[in-house]
């Protein structure tokens, strides 16, 4: 099978770790020239890992929610590799979990919305014209199952991700006729730097087997599993997929939270 992103230039934000790093590595394996972007210096480690495996990559540091940085990022992709075909707007923050809903401040909300929602808007604003001018391609934004309904994250985080889902739907209409597709991937609980405290806490308490227990697969996800979905949505295999939000969550969002009766005959024995 030929490399699915051969000849493509792809930007990945939030590429210093987790889903972003896994995606940058996978995209390079599939033939893409990668521009890895993050505010953390560890993004250079991602680019080095791509090159160590024979791929082409450059690393750029900056703020995903700052327009000047995103505009410069798009320009870097074109100056380094001569084009831009794919943009994965993956960078995001939780904003911390300080108490409950009423403990959050307007400043907490503003920062989460700036990075998680304005950031993807800026990606679309600056990447779409460049992608159009290079013959078309695709944009992908990381939302979350937390954007579908309550119960999967702090309020400000969940609201920002709900906004991303609507953003890609709105943008798909605005991009009609440009040759630029846009979709969102909605991870469920996935082991990344963002969720590390949860995982470490569960392991320290001897409760690692309870991670992801609310989804039908009864486990959390891995960054590589989200990266695989991102690869599909950005590749030509998804050429007729546009304006869609794909949940990659072990089946969590297929149901409202519920307990499984002990006597359920359809429940597999443990």
**Active-site residue numbers?**
157
Do residues 192 and 17 touch, judged by C-beta distance below 8 A?
Answer: yes
**Can you tell me the distance from the alpha carbon of 70 to that of 66, in angstroms, rounded to the nearest whole number?**
6
Do residues 246 and 165 touch, judged by C-beta distance below 8 A?
Answer: no
The DSSP string of 126-191 is HHHHHHHHTT-EEEEEE--GGGTSTTSS-HHHHHHHHHHHHHHHHHHHHTTTTTEEEEEEEE-SB-
Task: For residue 229, give every residue at least 6 positions away whose Cβ sits within 8 Å of its Cβ, in sequence order, or none.
Answer: 185, 246, 248
**Can you tell me the distance from the alpha carbon of 195 to that of 51, in angstroms, rounded to the nearest whole number?**
28
Do residues 107 and 160 touch, judged by C-beta distance below 8 A?
Answer: no
Residues recorded for the chain: 270
Task: For residue 107, give every residue at least 6 positions away whose Cβ sits within 8 Å of its Cβ, in sequence order, or none.
Answer: none
Dihedral over Cα of 50, 225, 163, 213: its sign: negative
**Can you tell me the distance from the alpha carbon of 119 to that of 111, in angstroms, rounded to the nearest whole number?**
11
Q: Is 239 left (phi over 0), alpha (psi -120 to 50) or beta?
A: alpha
Structure tokens at 111: 């920062």
């Amino acid at each position: 099978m030929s490399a699915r992103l051969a000849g493509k230039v792809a930007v990945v934000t939030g590429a210093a770790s987790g889903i972003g790093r896994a995606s940058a590595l996978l995209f390079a394996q599939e033939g893409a020239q990668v521009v890895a972007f993050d505010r953390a210096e560890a993004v250079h480690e991602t680019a080095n890992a791509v090159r160590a495996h024979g791929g082409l990559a450059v690393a750029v540091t900056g703020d995903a929610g700052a327009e000047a940085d995103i505009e410069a990022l798009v320009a870097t992709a074109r100056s380094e590799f001569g084009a831009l075909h794919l943009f994965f707007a993956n960078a995001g923050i939780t904003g911390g979990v300080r108490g409950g809903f009423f403990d959050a401040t307007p400043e907490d909300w503003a920062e989460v919305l700036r990075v998680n929602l304005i950031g993807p808007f800026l990606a679309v604003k600056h990447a779409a014209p460049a992608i159009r001018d290079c013959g078309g391609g695709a944009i992908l934004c990381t939302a979350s199952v937390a954007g579908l309904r309550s119960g999967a994250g702090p309020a400000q985080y969940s609201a920002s991700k709900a906004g991303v889902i609507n953003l890609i739907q709105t943008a798909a209409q605005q991009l009609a006729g440009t040759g630029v597709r846009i979709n969102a991937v909605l991870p469920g609980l996935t082991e990344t730097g963002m969720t590390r405290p949860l995982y470490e806490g569960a392991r320290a308490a001897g409760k690692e087997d309870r991670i992801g227990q609310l989804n039908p697969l009864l486990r959390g996800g891995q960054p590589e599993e989200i990266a695989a979905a991102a690869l599909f949505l950005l590749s030509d295999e998804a050429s007729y997929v546009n304006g869609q939000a794909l949940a990659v969550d072990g089946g969590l969002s297929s149901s409202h939270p519920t307990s499984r009766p002990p006597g359920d005959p359809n429940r597999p024995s443990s």
